[in-house]
Structure 1
């Protein structure tokens, strides 16, 4: 069983891009939608990350709230072969605005005309598929493999990435996120098992928003587990969950060439 520490997911984002190309006066980025995932060396993004960890300890559910700021900086490139260029993304973290940035780790990202990928904590996610089209679906976690578990504090969420089907649910929408207004935002539903019926044992909801020419501007993940095999459905899941986490990530500022 693979176990991935929650630290890797405190800021769960990456970005990719390439320069615009034209062919017979057709803007390839415009047609495919690759400019929702921009990347150049020197680009950076700063996020506010808020999370709540659910932890069952001595028959009592403890809610550990974490507030932090995370910065991603594109620092280098390397080849993945087949003319695909990958970009190194270094991550930094600080607890408050006046604190110095502390290095966390580095990830990498890449894209082509098919899709955009990010390798985060040695897990390869396909964040977007091209061309961007409403209702289009893809298996964004297909490269992770089955039965990967996520370690949250001292608990383990089993097979947490299994069965996710990503889908574009909103395109070209003006939206205000945090204190910033964006003219063109797309929304990706990565998983949401609350749509058909109220969940009983596992609650999974994950959405990400990307702004044109900016990259990821917002993400919200709620992954909770109730170990009670006969839960009371009248109690809201967030009130009876015993394991898991809530994560919200909002773009504060950025520089994209």
Structure 2
């Protein structure tokens, strides 16, 4: 029986795709591919961890997304699907930049609507994603438990330390602990001012499989116009992979 890590924010089931099924199919593919290739060609990239975010023109990933925005007047919930597809690549001497088009739809019966275009840049030392014109370093190489880096080192924002954390419970029975890693972006447990818990999970040969974000700001004075301790702003996001493929 394949098992998933359970989180507090659960999505309704949609379609015939499951994260367990995607991981299982790709593990079979990776095993076949690895055993058929020359060992000397595989040791370097896999040891460094480049395969935690594979990139090729035509690659796409589809996610189920549930997003809750907290407001003083209440909260707003949106449930939709997100497709990220690599439409082009721009190589240079020491790095390659990929165009990542993001499409959204309300459900599997609707047509995709283009939402935005991000860029993914991969070098020998890091992988960055430019989101709404702001670059963030999402992964650094080699991928190693406990390793830290400044996710804002490519932008003008203040230093923000990301770090790798092991995922102790297997995302699928066909995985090993070395096949999965979590990037912790922020880890501030709930307190009198709020909470900030943000992380992303990656699997070898597949890429990003989960985003879990929870940020809440609480009222701490009478100036808030609300009861002390009440959530006055924030966001909860759960993004879960349901399908991957290549359109080329």
State yes or no: 1:224 paired with 2:216.
yes
8 Å contact from structure 1 (residues 48, 249) kept in 2: yes
Specify the SS of the correspondent of 1:223: strand
- Cα deviation, residue 29, structure 1: 1.1
Deviation string 1:139-183 (CA, Å, 9 cap, x unpaired) is 11232323xxxxxxxxxxxxxxx553211110696314xxx9655
Greater strand share, 1 or 2? 1
8 Å contact from structure 2 (residues 94, 123) kept in 1: no
Instruction: Show the counterpart of 1:248.
Output: 238
8 Å contact from structure 2 (residues 151, 159) kept in 1: no
Mapped partners of 2:239, 2:175: distance in 1: 16
TM-score (norm 1): 0.72
Q: Which runs of 4+ in 1 moved over 4 A?
A: 20-26, 180-183
1:175 to 145, 163, 171: 171
Instruction: Show the counterpart of 2:207.
Output: 215
Q: CA RMSD in A?
A: 2.9
Instruction: Show the counterpart of 2:89.
Output: 77
Q: Which sections of structure 1, spanning at least 5 residues, go unmatched?
A: 1-19, 147-161
Instruction: Show the counterpart of 1:13.
Output: none
Instruction: Show the counterpart of 2:110.
Output: 99
Instruction: Show the counterpart of 2:180.
Output: 185
8 Å contact from structure 1 (residues 109, 118) kept in 2: yes
TM-score (norm 2): 0.75
Deviation string 1:42-84 (CA, Å, 9 cap, x unpaired) is 110000010111111xxxx3110100100011110114x4431
1:134 to 145, 150, 158: 145
Mapped partners of 1:99, 1:110: distance in 2: 31
- Cα deviation, residue 22, structure 1: 8.5
Instruction: Show the counterpart of 1:156.
Output: none
Greater helix share, 1 or 2? 2
Total equivalences in the alignment? 207
8 Å contact from structure 1 (residues 173, 185) kept in 2: no
Mapped partners of 1:102, 1:181: distance in 2: 35
